[in-house]
Structure 1
Amino acid sequence: MTDPMASSEKAKLDAEANADANIELALERLAIQGHCGERLRLQEMLPETDTETQHFVLVELIKLNMALAADKGTIERIEDYIEAMPDRLSVSKVPLDMVMEEIQLRKDAGQDCSYEDYCERFPQHAELLHPLLHSAEVTGAVRTRSVPPELPLGSQVDDFLLIQKLGQGAFAHVYLARQVSMHRLVALKISRGGGDESQALAQFDHPNIVRVFDQRTDLEQGLHLLYMQYHPGGTLSDVVYAARDCQDGHCDSRLLVDAVDGNLLRAAQAVPERSLVRQWIRSAPWPAVVAWMGVQMAKALGEAHRHGVLHRDVKPANVLLSAECIPQLADFNVSFAGAAGRAGAAASFGGSIGYMAPEHLRAISAEALDKPEQVQERADLYSLGVLLWELWQGERPFDYDRYAMSWSEAVQSQLVSRSKPLTAPRQFGSASERVLEKVLRKALSHSPEDRFVDGDEMAGRLRLSLHPEAAALFDPAEKSFSLRVAKWPPWVVASTVILLPNMAAGILNYEYNYQQVMSTDGMRLGLQQVSWFVNLTVFPFAACVVIWYSRRIVRAVDAARRGVRVDSADLGEALELGHRAARLSGSLWLTSGIVFSLVMSTLFHEFVWTQAVHFVLSSMICGGVAMIYPFFGMALLSTHVFYPLCLSGTMQDREFDQRAKQMERRCEYYLLIAAVIPLLGAMLMILSETASQGFRLTVIGAALLGLLASFFAYRVIVNAWGMMGTVLSRKVSSVPGEVDS
């Protein structure tokens, strides 16, 4: 059965996509034709669609036509168009962005713009006209440049032989071309002006950013030639459109491969037959494939942001796909633009603004005239979140008015939608989906401060969706033991795990020496008095040292709970706590055994050397117990609770591989100590002539049980670090087709 609601939503999205295409086509026709002197003829360029969309397109055509007229030295008035098309346009229906366009064009021409004049002409916008007429530059104005000619296929421009037309915009044509000197296929973008796209892209050598080879200028024809890597797999728009057709939102991952193959065949390019990446895509669940795409695009944005470049126009059409289905970000030509980006005609209501962050929408709205909005890196991550949600669900995560009457209304409608709760996604219960939804909801936070710090952090979280077993560590279930322990104060947990084994060992050591070693009542009384003195001195000292050692893990956990990036040094100290506690315990027990022997031999002349050996050996055994249990206990807690908690927000640790290797080496070292303890216990029992057989078996059995527990803990810890390595290790990529940048 087909869900009527889903069908209705798909129909709306399809209508939106068609409307967007019609708008672009109408604007391109006008840009190529040039200024239309007979204003009534603008109606001939309107698409055959509903009245609301026609009105929107007409407004954009008028704005562009006014700009084209200004290029020729003529400033047209809005009333000229109202008189030419009174049945389609009236003073009351003139949108603010059309008024903004006229004001900007007049300012550029050096004409004065009177506030009173515009209030009289357009009283519905009187409240917004004052800041508008006092701003240095109107945000919504359209900048035009001359359109390059469409060149015949088979002709040669400079070093390039044109093979096929790949696409066109209002001010540029893109061709598949062969660079004669290099014998390679390139995507050649031909325009009249330079722009900043080449400077933006030339900085990067990243596997997920389209590579720009170089730029040239054909002085004879006045053309700017930008040539870049050619990807015949099409764009992500094809995949998003296919995702809308999924039954009940359940997409088959093969649709990505099928979309790429279709474009490869249309471009007469070979389809890769033996590709591990494509094989993985076909077998992986759709949420995992979406996360896989997101990891690579987030890392690409992170690389761009590190170079001070913002994309500002992240959307499916600007993500190219290689034959291996690898995504590459393209179209950085608005990277260094002002806050407006592609305001006005270039940002239709179904296009770029559908992916913009709230602060970006505010920056291109009328509100920005009085209160300028700063658009920064996290706006790109928001746009990526919208893109990935649409790829996952086949629709964007918010509801908005798709039939705006003007560009200003469209922006305002989108802005209102951003403040509403996200639409509930269709899910099928997989761990990948749960992780993916959490990541996208964070990326789509209304406030930039609540989003990911950078693209690398977002990529790290998305990796969890590819590895559900690792997600159980970093994103434990609500009632899991790990989550319950994480809520306790870290110093309490550490003190309990470290001090309890020492107390148990102290009781066992005292009972053994009291019952089996001390041969007289006087020595037993002396042992009791010395034990009270030592325990009341050593245990408080040890507790204070443990709490002191715990301060770094307390600080790390507190930072993680506040959403602050954990300092790498604090993270390392947190992992060292078990090892330091074990060394402290072992040292104190060995010292205690020697001190006890010296004190008892001083107080009692009948205390012989064999009893001293028993004291030292029993202290060594208890010291071993007091080392292995705190170490493995803290290692388990660090591995399953504290370390994942500290990294759950960023999923980044550049020292992970060193930490993992050190943890494994430490576990092997303490496992060896655990193996030695039964041998020492057996030796002690052999030397003890008075010990009963039952007591001997109890001691040896307890030591063997400790060895088994240590081995179990060792396996659990090593396996957990191995799982974490799938998302944190920098040695081997956990993402198919990903190259570590």
Structure 2
Amino acid sequence: MSVPETPAEAVARFAADWESALRGDRPEPPALGHYVPDGSEARLAVLTDLVRVDLRQRWHRTGAGKRILEYGKEFPEVAASPQFVELVCEEFLVSRRYRPVDLDAFTADYPEELAAAIRERLTGAEPMAAARLPDHIETGRRLDDFDLLTDLGGDAASRVFLARQRSMQRLVAVRVQADADGDAPRVAQLDHQYIVRVFDQRRIEDGGKPLRLLYMQYLPGGAASGVLERLREQGTREGGELLLKSVDAAMESRGEIRPTDSRVRAEIAELSWPETIAWVGRRLALALDYAERHGVQHHDIRPDNVLFTVEGVPKLADFALGPLHPGYGDIRCAAAKDIEALAYYSPERLAALLDPAARVPDTRSDIYSLGVLLWEMLTGATPFDDTHAVAAADVGPDDLTDLMLRRRAGVPESALAALPADTPPALRRVLLECLDPDPARRWQTGAELAGQLDVCLDARARDLVDPPPTSLRHRARGWLLPIAVLCVLVPNALASLYNVRLNQRLIIDRLSDADQHRFDLVVLVNNAVAFPLAALLLVWLCRRPLAVPLRLARGHVYTPAELARARADTLTMGDRGVWVPFGMWVLAGIGWPLALAGSGVSLPPSTFAHFFAAQIVCALIALAYPFFLITVYAVRSLYPQLLVRGGIGPADGRQLWALARRSNFYLAVAASVPLVGAASATFVSASDLESVLVPVRWLSVGGILAFVITYWLFRLLEADLQALVRVIPRGAR
């Protein structure tokens, strides 16, 4: 007999199921009614907690939640509850994080007596102007458990201090905020190597004003703003050394001791400046991915919110610690809170400031902001000329509209021209996709972006994925079908030449004129059926690898599932391109002698054996050599075109490893061809041996040369597969 679920367990299970829905593990959000206990004394309390969870998560998921009025209709006891007014007030506080909300309009749906109670509760909750810290919040003061030691920067509403936490005897960074809105409890649960660790928060009153103290991990290596300042001052790029010098300068300014050299610092020092940007960006993208999977978005990516450890490792700070609409309906207040942050806003984020009904930006907006930041770190300037807007003392709707339209127009040519000469094409492509005006055409998750930045850090992988426009690999992409046909046709044609010469000497020359005519007729009929059938079968089996890259180049959009299938088919293209001809050769070895016998040609049994042995040799040629030609072409020219479309994951890594293992089998087959050809000659009678000596000799010599070429292709394929595996995400990190 199962133990009944406690009220706390019901609420915890509901919250966990909501988290699964936010991560995409569940197709639909959980139904609240399934978690309410029947006939329990705690039913109302549990129901109230469930409504709170459901209310917040619905707003978080879609940017539009249910009204408490709707919950009251579904569960009448909620509407009659003494906590009903409290729930309505919570709805107001939650909804205004996502939409500007007018208090009078919000309470218009309630009876006047109830509306008055709601307004009384919310008096002072709707700020008419940005909150400000008291003037006396400065270094040397003690706030609660914290001695404020050094001012690390901030604005009028929020400042960060290096502080000593007395109870724990440790140095922490404390953000003192006048605005108590935010998602600190959820942020405090984030525990990731590339996210600044938030320990906890405290709410205090100072001089009658409520303050929030958010204390977190202290990083002495400065911020990305310091890196940008050093980059602009020097005007030259020293690769990773520039980042390390910026970190060391920040530590020196705070009286910190420069660390001894470490493996991480040595790794950074070896990077070029574009590689350093990719190295930093990959870690920040992983931080975004981790936060998204835990239901948290950033909404404020900019240089001051990217901090560095003493080793130069970047960490994202200030996840969702403020409302999405700080001015609650006043555009000038919303934008003026931090004008410089506007330079990193996505088009949809700016649209949300202009239109309260616009959809709340999601993680793709953070990816856009990260793209702007990485571009600025790469070139020293953001990709858009926002000088006029960010220099204005009072930003209004027209300025925001101008910023939005600039971003919707895409990255200008002047910004592209400012990219450093040593910027890899892969990094250029990745950043441009981050900055696509259409969210649907950007990288959809931080994991996708991290995988693409991994490509930028691996010289061989980025050369595969983004070959120079003048390279043979890049040009070969436009000759997909002819190259694929040649890869299959040439080895099979050579096998046919060997087969014809051998059969001519052992069989055809010894037939009568009438039997030779019948033989030619059988060959003609069989070839007329077999070759078109094999060609059609090959085209059908390889339709996705042949069609998808071409259609992608023409702007066609595929779903992630369709791209995943195309990638899998591309990696098996070599197998399909050899097993069909192999099967045809084997079937011909059985079918042609039977067809000849049926046509009236009389052949001795030894002739049938010789014919079938020759067919097996040709089948092995068709199996071994085309595989490496097709597969190398597919891996070097076709697969990278699919890889850059995103959606890659552990399954792709397993498919690459499987191909690497299969290639060993085909290499062994290639090595066996000259041996099998020589062995087949031993079954020829002594009197016939001289007549087959020349074809067998050509087979042996040609087979050895072909094996040398095949082994070279095998090693090339092996190195390519290893490079691609290195840049495939290995799951959640």
Q: Report the TM-score, using the length of structure 2 for normalisation.
A: 0.73
Residues in 2 aligned to 1:555 and 1:205: alpha-carbon distance in whole angstroms = 44
Q: How does 1:218-233 map to 2 (within 5 A)?
A: 218=204, 223-233=211-221
Of stretches 323-332 and 167-176 in structure 1, the one that deviates more from structure 2 is 167-176
Corresponding residue to 1:636 among 632, 639, 657: 632
Of stretches 534-543 and 562-571 in structure 1, the one that deviates more from structure 2 is 562-571
Contact 2:130 2:326 in 1 (8 A): no
Contact 1:360 1:379 in 2 (8 A): yes
CA RMSD of aligned residues (A): 3.5
Corresponding residue to 2:371 among 367, 385, 388: 385
Quote the residue 1:398 is aligned against.
384
Quote the residue 1:700 is aligned against.
700
Name the aligned partner's letter for residue 665 of structure 2: Y
Of stretches 560-569 and 384-393 in structure 1, the one that deviates more from structure 2 is 560-569
Residues in 2 aligned to 1:401 and 1:729: alpha-carbon distance in whole angstroms = 38
The superposition leaves residues 404-450 of structure 1 with CA deviations (integer Å, 9 ceiling, x where unpaired) of 352216535534544472524445532x4433333323322334344
Name the aligned partner's letter for residue 538 of structure 2: V
Quote the residue 1:506 is aligned against.
496
Contact 2:325 2:334 in 1 (8 A): no
The superposition leaves residues 172-231 of structure 1 with CA deviations (integer Å, 9 ceiling, x where unpaired) of 443333445555432223345542241342342222221212223457986533221111
Quote the residue 1:48 is aligned against.
none
- SS of 2:382's partner is coil
- SS of 1:274's partner is coil
Contact 2:160 2:175 in 1 (8 A): yes
Count of aligned pairs between the two proteins: 595
Quote the residue 1:721 is aligned against.
721
Q: How does 1:291-370 map to 2 (within 5 A)?
A: 291-334=278-321, 337-338=324-325, 344-345=332-333, 347-348=335-336, 351-365=340-354, 368=355
Residues in 1 aligned to 2:434 and 2:364: alpha-carbon distance in whole angstroms = 8
Residues in 1 aligned to 2:630 and 2:364: alpha-carbon distance in whole angstroms = 37
Show structure 1 runs of 5+ residues with no match.
1-103, 111-138, 732-739
Contact 1:667 1:714 in 2 (8 A): yes
Assess, with a 3 A threshold, how the Cα gap between structure 1 residues 168 and 340 changes in structure 2: closer, same or farther.
Answer: closer
Residues in 2 aligned to 1:335 and 1:553: alpha-carbon distance in whole angstroms = 47
Show structure 2 runs of 5+ residues with no match.
1-98, 106-125
The superposition leaves residues 305-325 of structure 1 with CA deviations (integer Å, 9 ceiling, x where unpaired) of 344433222110111111111
- 2:708 counterpart of 1:712: no
The superposition leaves residues 706-731 of structure 1 with CA deviations (integer Å, 9 ceiling, x where unpaired) of 21222121111111112223322639
Q: Report the TM-score, using the length of structure 1 for normalisation.
A: 0.72
Quote the residue 1:29 is aligned against.
none
Q: How does 1:213-612 map to 2 (within 5 A)?
A: 213-218=199-204, 223-247=211-235, 249-334=236-321, 337-338=324-325, 344-345=332-333, 347-348=335-336, 351-365=340-354, 368=355, 372=358, 374-402=360-388, 403-408=391-396, 410-412=399-401, 414-415=403-404, 417-418=406-407, 419=409, 421-424=412-415, 425-427=417-419, 429-430=421-422, 432-488=423-479, 490=481, 493-518=483-508, 519-521=510-512, 523-554=515-546, 556-557=548-549, 560-561=552-553, 562-564=556-558, 565=560, 566-600=562-596, 607-612=603-608
Of stretches 282-291 and 499-508 in structure 1, the one that deviates more from structure 2 is 499-508
- SS of 2:691's partner is coil
The superposition leaves residues 239-295 of structure 1 with CA deviations (integer Å, 9 ceiling, x where unpaired) of 111111133x54553221122112223334343313122112223211111121112
How far is 1:300 from its partner?
2.0
Q: How does 1:3-22 map to 2 (within 5 A)?
A: none
How far is 1:559 from its partner?
6.2
Contact 2:617 2:673 in 1 (8 A): yes
- 2:621 counterpart of 1:621: no
Q: Quick one: percent identity of the two aligned structures?
A: 29
Q: How does 1:87-102 map to 2 (within 5 A)?
A: none
How far is 1:674 from its partner?
0.9
Name the aligned partner's letter for residue 348 of structure 2: E
Name the aligned partner's letter for residue 233 of structure 2: D
Q: Which has the higher contact order (CA 8 A, sep 6+)?
A: 1
Contact 1:309 1:336 in 2 (8 A): no
Contact 1:436 1:465 in 2 (8 A): yes
Assess, with a 3 A threshold, how the Cα gap between structure 1 residues 265 and 356 changes in structure 2: closer, same or farther.
Answer: same
Residues in 2 aligned to 1:107 and 1:343: alpha-carbon distance in whole angstroms = 14
The superposition leaves residues 450-475 of structure 1 with CA deviations (integer Å, 9 ceiling, x where unpaired) of 43333333333333332333222111
Name the aligned partner's letter for residue 435 of structure 1: A
Residues in 2 aligned to 1:495 and 1:538: alpha-carbon distance in whole angstroms = 16
Contact 2:277 2:374 in 1 (8 A): yes
- SS of 1:684's partner is helix
Assess, with a 3 A threshold, how the Cα gap between structure 1 residues 197 and 148 changes in structure 2: closer, same or farther.
Answer: farther
Contact 1:439 1:461 in 2 (8 A): yes
Assess, with a 3 A threshold, how the Cα gap between structure 1 residues 140 and 172 changes in structure 2: closer, same or farther.
Answer: closer
Contact 1:174 1:188 in 2 (8 A): yes
Quote the residue 1:63 is aligned against.
none
